[in-house]
Amino acid sequence: MDGGGGKKNTVSEFSYMLQRQGSDDSTEAAAFDDINSLMKAEAQAAATQEDSLSSLPQASFNYINSIVGSGVIGIPYALHRAGFGLGLFLLVIVAVITDYSLILMVRCGHLSGRFSYPGVMEAAYGKTGYYLLSLLQFMYPFLAMISYNVVVGDTLSKVLVRLVPSWGTSMGAVRFGVVLVVTAFVVIPLCLYKNVSRLAKASFLSLACVVIILVAIVYKLLAGDYDVVPNTPESWRFAHSDLIPAVGIMAFAFMCHHNTFLVYQSMRNATMERWEKVTHLSVGFAWLVAACFGIAGYCTFRALSQGDLLENYCWDDDLMNFSRVLFSVSILLTFPIECFVSREIVRTQIKRFYSQEVVEYDTDKDPSHATGGEEDEKAVTTTLVIVFAAFIISPYTECLGPVLELNGLLAAIPLAYILPGLAYIQLSPHSLFSQEKLPAAGLVVFGTIVTISGAALLMPNLMGDCRTGIIMGYCRDDELSLNGTASALVATTPACVTDRV
């Protein structure tokens, strides 16, 4: 019995050992399968993330899209202010300096480990740098919103007068009414839209509108429709003394520094070498577009070029009226994005000011990259206050040129040149007079001189006698008379006295 029982026990133990071994093997196999699944999941996630990143051409397109915008419409006016020859030279200089400052910003990101503009400034100069950047980041889009009101009022009023010629006798009221209606029924609903980030995808449409406008401007030049534009003693002067305001307009046209880290982090295999290639390509193409706008517009109107080039074209020019509508569409697609940036900066600063606790800086979040969130009463109130303030201020000047100059000098140049240079000087371990830091120091000096001198020249004349709604002398013809437009609106001088023709 014992022997049989012992044998039975031995068999049972052997069976148990086999089962245990099988169980261990299956456990190991299951664990191995889990590891494989995890590795496959990570590989798939990495592949998905890699697919979502931009190739070098795609990043370049996104970059170009962030540079080329409404500012290019003022380049002919900038060439008039600086002189045609000197203006083209300045356009190259501004493009080269912008190219260098964009590369410098990403270098600062690597030095600080913060890949956002606020993060870089906070790492370099603490709270002072952060709040200074916040102020400028608010000023730039807010002044841009004012310029958008000026543009929409000017362009759409021309279209309405073409449709209802009798309104041409009260262009000021028509312009104010256009801005009021657009603000109430288009701008405010778009600015209160919860998913404002979706509007950023319309930037491609905005760029397409700019390209179509450029084609129309070049066509009008080649067709000779405005060969009747008279020459003046200043038409082809190589240089003028107003080069500082011209630099402000050009800097506004090339301003894209608030999108720098967004484009950089969207690149596949992002390195400094690839970033430099993308920057050179993008800024070069943007310069080409700006130069085409400047040359075509200036060659058409020369010393009569206005801050808003579309103001120079006759009111009965249907192709350019179509271009005016496209430009207004482009502006209206951009307006809510600018408003959203301003709103987020205001709300962030108010929250930090009234916070009872020490507020931790969100150093890797750029307000211009925020994607929006749920609306509340405070957000709605802030939005309405900002939009209303832009609406109230915009009638004080009816010419786009001074607004572009002001935004370029007081906001765009500090954001594009002064702050990146200062950040690199603070973060780089090299000495101030080293080969690495000297260009950055030169960038700061250049931006500071242009900003201070430009503001001193511009501010006294900002509220000068600047008018719109005037038919240029070369547009006077029988058709305009038959349409019933008042002859009192005919002028042989440009609409803006600041042109000094």
Nearest to residue 405, comparing CAs of 334, 364, 453, 358?
453
The residue count of the chain comes to 501
479 Cβ neighbours under 8 A, 6+ residues apart: 316
CB 358 within 8 A of CB 177: no
Residue 315 and residue 476: Cα distance in Å, rounded? Answer: 10
pLDDT at 288: 95
The beta-carbon contacts of 218-225 under 8 Å, at least 24 apart in sequence, are 218/292, 218/296, 219/319, 220/300, 220/313, 220/317, 220/319, 220/320, 221/296, 221/299, 221/300, 225/317
The whole model's pTM is what? 0.77
What pLDDT is stored for residue 361 in this prediction?
45
pLDDT attached to residue 377: 75
Written as tens digits, the pLDDT of the chain (501 aa) is: 444 444 444 444 545 454 555 545 554 444 444 445 544 544 454 444 455 576 878 888 878 877 887 789 999 999 999 999 999 999 999 999 999 999 999 999 999 999 889 889 999 999 899 989 989 989 988 988 988 898 888 888 888 888 888 887 777 788 899 999 999 999 998 888 765 555 656 667 888 888 999 999 999 999 999 998 988 888 889 998 888 989 999 998 999 887 788 789 888 888 999 999 999 999 999 999 999 999 999 999 999 998 889 889 998 899 999 999 999 988 888 888 788 888 888 888 887 777 644 444 444 555 445 444 445 677 889 999 999 999 998 877 767 777 888 888 889 999 999 999 999 999 999 988 898 899 999 999 999 999 999 888 777 665 544 555 567 778 865 343 334 333 333 443 443 433 332
Predicted pLDDT of residue 333: 80
Using CA of residue 159, residue 164, residue 165, residue 170, what is the dihedral sign? negative
Identify the H or E element spanning 438: helix 438-458
| Strand residues in 77-230 grouped as ranges (E) | none
Cα–Cα dist 213/190, whole Å: 24
pLDDT value at residue 129? 92
Among 323, 498, 464, 395, CA closest to 174: 395
Calculate the CA dihedral of residues 280, 284, 285, 288 and round it to 10 degrees: 180
According to the model, what pLDDT value does residue 97 have?
96
CB 161 within 8 A of CB 171: yes
- Pairing state between β 490-491 and 471-472: parallel
Distance CA 337, CA 258 (A): 12
Using alpha carbons, select from 246, 204, 216 the residue that is nearest to residue 83.
246
- At residue 96, the pLDDT reads 96
Query: Cβ neighbours of residue 369 under 8 Å, at least 6 residues apart?
Result: 116, 259, 261, 262
**CA-to-CA distance for 409 and 47, rounded, in angstroms?**
44
